[in-house]
Amino acid sequence: MAQSYDVVVIGGGHNGLVNAAYLAKAGKKVLVLERRGVLGGAAVTEEIVPGFLFSECSYVVSLLRPEIIRELDLPRHGLEILPLDGTFSPMLSGDYLWRVNDHAKTQREIRRHSRLDAEAYDEFSKMMTPLCRFVKPMLSMIPPDPTTLNPKDLKQLHFMLQRFRELSSEERYTLVQLMTMSAADFLDQWFETDVLKATMSASGIIGTFLGIRSPGTAYVLLHHYMGEIDGAFRSWGFSRGGTGAISNAIGSAARELGVEIRTNAPVAKILNKNGRASGIALKSGEEISCNVISSSVDPHHTFLSFMDAKDLPSDFVDSVKRYKFRGSSGKVNLALSALPNFNALPGVGAHLRGAISISPGMEYMERAYDDAKYGHYSQRPYIDMVIPSLTDPSVSPPGKHVLSCFVQYAPYKLAQGTWDDHREAFGNNVINTIAQHAPNIKDIIIDKQVLTPLDLEREFGLTQGNIFQGELSLEQLFFLRPVPGWAYYRTPIDNLYMCGSATHPGGGIMGANGRIASQVILKEWKKAAN
């Protein structure tokens, strides 16, 4: 074996890079191996159509941990977050709902639809804030093991219980509801405006194979709210130069700290001896030895592709096989010669600078889910669109634009045929859906990129096309993520760790997973040294 490292990180997505940077910061010799030619994993920007930069998968930033931005000094490495203000939801009736960050303005807008809802919106915001404060520390903690009597775990569980008891009765009531209810049932208690409830509930289903009426979807509403109290930056934003610029900034910080990054370096095997990781074999045949392996790819790749089942405990392999991915969304990226013109609010305006949400009503959302349950992409899908080129002209030629559409539902497993047969029709269906609201869309498309769940799997290594490396459902969260008994970034193989979105606290461009995993690795390293 030619080279030797302290740590090899598999996968150059944002979590892998964060993990590598922190390990290098602690003085370790780190190598990152990325399969593709570009860094970033699903946080990537590429020039798919000449002159147009598409943030192919992940398209907005929300919960990137402020401590990571600070500790890795990301702004110096080129990170610049531009505001994404508001959500515009056109309705088929010709009306619209346009919520913005300015609370008073939003309230006035909601009052146009319902006086009661305008008042409730105020209360709702006030209620969510303390709950976000309650949940937030959990995003940066290693989940406790609920099955042991180990004092450390018991202390953590007790700490959580104690904090729960410190909440007021009203806060507890709402928190319990958020953890257990469906987004639709939860919002029904607060609001009456259909389009408001539909648009809010949409955040509860992103990346899951659940409908807005499925219990467990209310929790994500809280997640959505959380960014707003971070204080470091506005909740939702674009990164200048596209989402890939975030990965590049983290990559640059990592390199400066001494991390070696190799692209076009697909991993074939994780080498292990006597239950202990010893190195990596690349597809090229090259072998790299190291003390520790940190895998930012999902558990299917890590344990089922890169390892032999016989090297792992059989119940662990069973749990990994049970881990649910079932991707439910696709992505359509459009290069446009002009801006879309919405019937509900014609012309170019600030409403195009925020998110545009095709979620006109609760029944619309639920029916979109019904199609998916039986293996069809939604006839009328939920679409979350952004036009980053309005805020960041660097991503398109002058006067032209990029429209990025997140589409749900698109089930990985189709009832009939393959995604290769349905890709074209799926893309056209999305465009037709948009055309219902902005009829000029068909005339302004220069080119398009359609990513089905199968494409997300093939191209970006997201098993079954799940954008969060595994469904964010209640039974796969916190001390159950990715699998029971192994929610602590460790694995049954000594010196092999997980640091990707498949670990707590889950997906999205947070970076928390990579950071917590680095702490676990360093702690164990120290323990082993003593």
Residues binding other proteins: what is the number (CB under 8 A)?
Answer: 35
- Residue 102: phi and psi, rounded to 5, are -70, 110
Reference 2, options 295, 280, 275, 268; nearest CA is: 280
In the complex, least distance from residue 411 CB atom to other proteins, rounded to whole angstroms: 12
Tell me which H or E stretch contains 523.
Answer: helix 512-529
- Residue 119: phi and psi, rounded to 5, are -70, -45
Cβ contact 406:59 at 8 Å: yes
In the complex, least distance from residue 312 CB atom to other proteins, rounded to whole angstroms: 16
3-state class (DSSP) for residue 252: helix
The verdict on 416 binding other proteins (CB under 8 A) reads no
The mark string for 3-22 relative to other proteins (x by CB under 8 A, - otherwise) is --------------------
In the complex, least distance from residue 173 CB atom to other proteins, rounded to whole angstroms: 5
Taking the C-alpha atoms of residue 154 and residue 162, their distance in angstroms, rounded to an integer, is 12
Toward other proteins, which CB reaches closer, 192 or 475? Answer: 475
Toward other proteins, which CB reaches closer, 333 or 476? Answer: 476
Toward other proteins, which CB reaches closer, 84 or 372? Answer: 372
Reference 369, options 217, 521, 169; nearest CA is: 217
The verdict on 123 binding other proteins (CB under 8 A) reads no
- Residue 189: phi and psi, rounded to 5, are -70, -25
- Of 194-202, 213-221, 435-443, 498-506, which segment contacts other proteins by CB under 8 A? 213-221
The verdict on 310 binding other proteins (CB under 8 A) reads no
In the complex, least distance from residue 147 CB atom to other proteins, rounded to whole angstroms: 5
Toward other proteins, which CB reaches closer, 276 or 322? Answer: 322
Which amino acid does the sequence have at 257?
L
The verdict on 289 binding other proteins (CB under 8 A) reads no
Enumerate residues 6+ apart whose C-beta is below 8 A from 268. Answer: 281, 282, 283, 306
Taking the C-alpha atoms of residue 131 and residue 525, their distance in angstroms, rounded to an integer, is 35
In the complex, least distance from residue 214 CB atom to other proteins, rounded to whole angstroms: 5
Q: Calculate the CA dihedral of residues 405, 419, 217, 82 and round it to 10 degrees.
A: -20
Among residues 151, 310, 374, 398, which is the contact residue for other proteins, using CB under 8 A? 374
Among residues 214, 272, 408, 449, which is the contact residue for other proteins, using CB under 8 A? 214
Give the other-Cβ count within 10 Å of 27's Cβ: 11
Length of the chain: 530
The mark string for 348-367 relative to other proteins (x by CB under 8 A, - otherwise) is ---------------x--x-
The verdict on 192 binding other proteins (CB under 8 A) reads no
3-state class (DSSP) for residue 46: strand
In the complex, least distance from residue 445 CB atom to other proteins, rounded to whole angstroms: 34
The verdict on 122 binding other proteins (CB under 8 A) reads no
CA distances from 105 to 99, 102, 121, 282 (A): 8, 5, 12, 55
The mark string for 84-103 relative to other proteins (x by CB under 8 A, - otherwise) is --------------------
Among residues 11, 12, 207, 216, which is the contact residue for other proteins, using CB under 8 A? 216
Tell me which H or E stretch contains 277.
Answer: strand 276-282
- Of 43-51, 84-92, 214-222, 434-442, which segment contacts other proteins by CB under 8 A? 214-222
The verdict on 67 binding other proteins (CB under 8 A) reads no
Taking the C-alpha atoms of residue 433 and residue 403, their distance in angstroms, rounded to an integer, is 14
Cβ contact 377:308 at 8 Å: no
**Which residues in 447-506 contact other proteins (CB under 8 A)?**
473-475, 479-480, 484-485
Toward other proteins, which CB reaches closer, 210 or 496? Answer: 210
- Of 26-34, 210-218, 232-240, 510-518, which segment contacts other proteins by CB under 8 A? 210-218
- In 125-239, DSSP assigns E strands to 237-239
Reference 437, options 93, 99, 193, 105; nearest CA is: 93
Alpha helices in 238-360 (DSSP H): 244-256, 299, 314-322
The verdict on 165 binding other proteins (CB under 8 A) reads yes
Which amino acid does the sequence have at 125?
S
In DSSP terms, 30 is beta-bridged to 7
Among residues 213, 234, 255, 376, which is the contact residue for other proteins, using CB under 8 A? 213
Alpha helices in 340-470 (DSSP H): 362-373, 388-391, 419-437, 441-444, 453-460
In DSSP terms, 46 is beta-bridged to 54
Toward other proteins, which CB reaches closer, 94 or 375? Answer: 375
Cβ contact 84:354 at 8 Å: yes
Toward other proteins, which CB reaches closer, 325 or 342? Answer: 325
The verdict on 255 binding other proteins (CB under 8 A) reads no
The angle formed by the CA atoms of residues 473, 477 and 481, to the nearest 5 degrees, is 115
The verdict on 160 binding other proteins (CB under 8 A) reads no
The mark string for 316-355 relative to other proteins (x by CB under 8 A, - otherwise) is ------x-x-------------------------------
- Of 38-46, 72-80, 162-170, 521-529, which segment contacts other proteins by CB under 8 A? 162-170
Q: Which residues here bind other proteins, judged by CB under 8 A?
A: 146-147, 164-165, 169-170, 172-173, 176-177, 180-181, 185, 189, 210, 213-217, 315, 322, 324, 363, 366, 370, 373-374, 473-475, 479-480, 484-485
